[in-house]
Amino acid sequence: MHPVFLQIGTFSIAWYGVLMTLGIFIGAVIGTRLARQRGLNEQLFSDMILWPLVVGFIGARLTFVATSWDLFQGKSGLALLYDIINIRQGGISIHGGLIFGVAMLWYMARRARVNFYQYADLFVPGIGFAIIGGRLGNIMNGSDTVGRVTNWAVGYRWPDWARGFHDAMCSQGTELNLVQYCKNIGGQQVMTAPVHFTQLYGVIIGIILVITAYFWMRSRHPGWAFWQFWLWYSILRGAWEETFRLNPLSPNIYLNEGLNNPGIGLLTLTQVISIPLILLAIYMLWRIARQPEVPFAAPNLPTAGQTPSKS
Listed in sequence order, the residues at least 6 apart from 123 whose beta carbon sits closer than 8 Å to its beta carbon are 27, 31, 48, 105, 226
Could you say which residues of the chain have pLDDT below 50? Answer: 302-306, 309-311
**Which of helix, strand or coil describes residue 245?**
strand
- List pLDDT tens digits, range 95-147: 888 899 999 999 999 999 999 999 999 999 999 999 999 999 999 988 888 99
Burial classification of residue 134, based on how many CB atoms lie within 10 Å of its CB (0-12 exposed, 13-18 middle, 19 or more buried): buried
pLDDT of residue 88: 66
Instruction: Compute φ and ψ for 254, nearest 5 degrees.
Output: -155, 135
Q: Is 76 exposed, middle or buried (0-12, 13-18, 19+ CB in 10 A)?
A: exposed
The closest alpha carbon to 242, from 273, 210, 219, belongs to: 273
According to the model, what pLDDT value does residue 311 have?
38
Give residue-wise pLDDT tens across range 186-204. 888 999 999 999 999 999 9
Whether 195 and 143 have beta carbons less than 8 Å apart is answered as no
d(CA 59, CA 73): 20
pLDDT score of 300: 56
- Within 8 A by CB and 6+ apart from 303, the residues are none
Q: What is the pLDDT of residue 15?
A: 86
pLDDT score of 303 = 44
Phi-psi region of 294 (alpha: psi -120 to 50; beta: other; left: phi over 0): beta
Q: pTM, whole model, 2 decimals? A: 0.86
